[in-house]
Structure 1
Amino acid sequence: MNGRTVLERFPAGGPRGSWPAEEFAQARRSEGLPAEVVMDLATDMFLVIVRSGDVADATA
């Protein structure tokens, strides 16, 4: 177990000036979920994640 939940995946090669992963994470944070964006180099994708424990804390 890697201690995270992946909420969504976004390709790294998005349009110039577009930050869909950051926008998605910000929307989740505004809902009270401590989402963050990380880069998965193996798949060249941005992942929006919540670390283990944070999901339970946010939904309690």
Structure 2
Amino acid sequence: MCRTVLEKFPAGGPRGSWPAEEFARARRDEGTPAEVVMDLDSDVFLVVVPQQATESAPQSLPLPLPQPQPRPRPQS
């Protein structure tokens, strides 16, 4: 499945900070089906959308990505 990367976020953010999740949530609130996946090779979180949903975003880059892996949440 091909997806379009909207934004990249480094995996080494401050503890308790979820910038990729926050960005994806803002896109979902706008009606874009954004989700977060991790690119293990480059150690970054990617906010992606299905390729057909990005016709209005010409600046994004289509990249084939593996199926998303669940991201572990810190336990409180």
TM-score relative to the length of structure 2: 0.68
Consecutive unaligned residues of structure 1, counting only runs of 5 or more, are none
Question: 1:7 — aligned with what?
Answer: 6
Q: Secondary structure at the match of 2:14?
A: coil
Q: Does 1:45 align with 2:19?
A: no
More helix by share: 1
**Alignment length, in residue pairs?**
56
Alpha-carbon distance between aligned partners in 2 of 1:4 and 1:22, rounded to the nearest angstrom = 17
Sequence identity (%):
70
Consecutive unaligned residues of structure 2, counting only runs of 5 or more, are 57-76
Per-residue CA deviation, residues 1-59 of structure 1 (Å, 9 max, x unaligned), is x5111000000000000000000000000000000000000100000000122335xx6
Alpha-carbon distance between aligned partners in 1 of 2:54 and 2:7, rounded to the nearest angstrom = 14
Alpha-carbon distance between aligned partners in 2 of 1:38 and 1:15, rounded to the nearest angstrom = 18
